[in-house]
Amino acid sequence: MAMLPSLASAASPSDTVDGLMRPATLPRAIIFDLDATLWSPELFEIAGRPFRRVLTKGRGKKGLTAAHTVVDRRGTPIGLFSDARHVLEELATDRRWEGVVLGLASRTDCVEDAHELLEVIQITPTHTMADLFPRHVRQIFPGSKRAHFQRLHEITGIPYREMAFWDDWDLNCRDVSRLGVYCCHVPEGLTLSRWEKALDGFARRKEEEGW
């Protein structure tokens, strides 16, 4: 199992981890929205905490990974989109991501519900979403996404242009992109095609701008 990303390895794009160099074309920070980007339904649509894991078989509605579904206090299921789970598993286990900071930028009003849900949803048998996204890089509060990214920039010291962001709401993407962040609109939630397209687009922009 690979070491999860941390701020300690984020200082330089040429850092090495156990002799392996992070590809220079990757963003130094990967940031996701939560509601309707990584999971469904949105937090305001459900009853909220306490959350608990349930074991089921097969695929849930809307492409959710039913085997890993969590339910709220009324038994309403909430879970990751299947492609989002695949991406998060890659981030947790693929060593090329060890030098990349992972963060969240969510404008939900259900702040404590979001933090608790991150503790409950598992990415691998040994890691939850909370392990993948440490508390200090979870910007979860109502308001403009620009404020979320300003805090992320202050905390990590990473330039905006070296961050990539995925969000289901186009307005958020347009707002954050003005800071220089590379943004990807995912109206149907995070998909593998949008994930890979954004990484390719980020690499092309970096090459074209020569930094």
Identify the CA nearest to 72 among candidates 57, 87, 54, 90: 54
**Amino acid 211: pLDDT:** 84
Q: Can 35 be counted among the known catalytic residues?
A: yes
Set 15, 18, 35, 131: catalytic member: 35
pLDDT in tens, 50-105: 999 987 655 544 554 555 679 999 999 999 999 999 999 999 999 999 999 999 99
**Amino acid 8: pLDDT:** 36
Sheet strand arrangement including 138-140: 138-140, 101-106, 29-32, 163-167, 182-185
Q: Can 109 be counted among the known catalytic residues?
A: no
Q: Contact, 137 vs 156, CB < 8 A? A: yes
**Amino acid 2: pLDDT:** 41
Set 18, 33, 83, 109: catalytic member: 33
**Amino acid 24: pLDDT:** 84
Domains and CATH numbers, the chain: 7-41+80-209 (3.40.50.1000)
Percent of the chain clearing pLDDT 90 (strictly above): 77
- Higher per-residue confidence, 165 vs 3: 165
pLDDT in tens, 36-52: 999 999 999 999 999 99
- Between strands 101-106 and 138-140, the pairing is parallel
